[in-house]
Structure 1
Amino acid sequence: MIASDLSILVLYYSRHGSTRKMAEFIARGVESVPGCEARLRTVPAVSTVTEATEPDIPSSGSPYVELRDLEECAGLALGSPTRFGNMAAPMKYFLDSTSAQWLSGALVGKPACVFTSTGSLHGGQEATLLSMMIPLLHHGMLVLGLPYTHPQLMTTASGGTPYGASHWAGGNGSNPVTDDTKLLAVALGRRLAETASRLRSA
């Protein structure tokens, strides 16, 4: 990344890899915008067993997010699999640790978007996306969706909503990301980066 690049944080939690794939398509869209760079980060798993711990460095995938990633970003894409129509606990746990950034206004005025994957087609995609928007609104972020100028929103049978990109992963996470879903995820990342770039120019 050169000094003039805008860093767009693509922050996700993924248990079986589907949300991670979505994050990678979001990042592709971000990096299609000149002067923008995607910073892929994840969060560690949490457990009801207090003795359980995660390694300091993930064995695969993106590095763990640090609070400074939020402070340094020009925009945020937030992704989580669905858990009973809500974001997964590891993502909520991380967001609950951002009080200092809320108090300082570190995210105020920055654009944001959300994305998800579900085991079943009607397994809470839209509810999960809406649940992830709420803390972003509390942080004063400008939340973006996908406009219906993307015709795939009218034809997709695998996920995809005006609230954000989504993917029907299947019960065992084996459903491939469809062409429609790829297009919508890339478009969302591009829209986020373009908005961050316009805001920075203004």
Structure 2
Amino acid sequence: MSNVLVLYYSSYGHIETMAEAVAEGVRQAGANVAIKRVPELVPENIASRSGYKLDQRAPVAEVAELADFDAIIIGTPTRFGNMASQIKNFLDQAGGLWFEDRLVGKVGSVFTSTGSQHGGQESTILATQVVLMHLGMVIVGLPYTFKGQMRMDEITGCSPYGASTLAEDDKQGSRQPSANELDGARFQGRHVAEIATALASGWEQRTQVVS
């Protein structure tokens, strides 16, 4: 059984909702899952005045604990086609784990949210995947076996790079994740957990043969 971390940052709750769906998918695959968030960098008075969702239940993660998991699924909103600074700041502190190869061979995956259909969903996921590859992680996306990403009957997020949702391009993103987008998030969580379990099993068998 693999251990999976869903690590996210969410200003207005969209990524938080997606993270919960991802975690549900992980559980469906029979894996253990923890949902944690990265620290907020925006001062509390400004965040409150801007309407940020400050009552999120997930505990704040510590960088050192990343090495405790077989897979890490990162959720980040887009900021001008890239990951949010809160996520980047957290990952930038993983230099010690990188130096000791602590994340090499672990599964990495990404999901996101943007304010519009062409607001940087794919570029945000790809940019985040680059960081995970530098850490030596095995990248897993959202394969086309999730047929919901090919729907043409409604506006929807999701791509082969990862699950995503579209928030209304207004001040606080009034549109919430759709049923199809949440299905994509659950599929991704389940898919990542299955691959992480298979890889962990393979490494265990290899270790037994070598020893």
CA distance in 1, matches of 2:144, 2:159: 9
% identical aligned pairs: 41
Gaps of 5+ in 2: 48-53, 203-211
Partner of residue 124, structure 1: 120
Partner of residue 183, structure 2: 183
Q: 2:69 aligns with which of 73, 77, 81?
A: 73
CA distance in 2, matches of 1:138, 1:74: 17
Partner of residue 194, structure 2: 194
CA contact (8 A) 1:9 1:69 kept: no
CA distance in 2, matches of 1:111, 1:16: 27
Q: CA deviation at 1:146?
A: 1.3
Matched, 1:42 2:40: no
Q: CA deviation at 1:59?
A: 4.5
Q: CA deviation at 1:7?
A: 1.8
Q: Secondary structure at the match of 2:41?
A: coil
Gaps of 5+ in 1: none
CA contact (8 A) 2:105 2:138 kept: yes
Partner of residue 109, structure 2: 113
CA distance in 2, matches of 1:59, 1:16: 10
Task: Decide which structure has greater helix share.
Answer: 2
C-alpha RMSD of the superposition: 1.8
The 5 A counterparts of 1:155-170 are: 155=151, 157-170=155-168
Q: CA deviation at 1:176?
A: 2.4
Q: Deviations over 1:140-187 (max 9, x none)?
A: 100011111221111062211100000001123221221211111100
Q: Secondary structure at the match of 1:79?
A: strand
Matched positions, count: 191
CA contact (8 A) 1:31 1:37 kept: yes
Q: Which 4+ runs in 1 deviate beyond 4 A?
A: none
What amino acid does structure 1 have at the position aligned with 2:63?
L
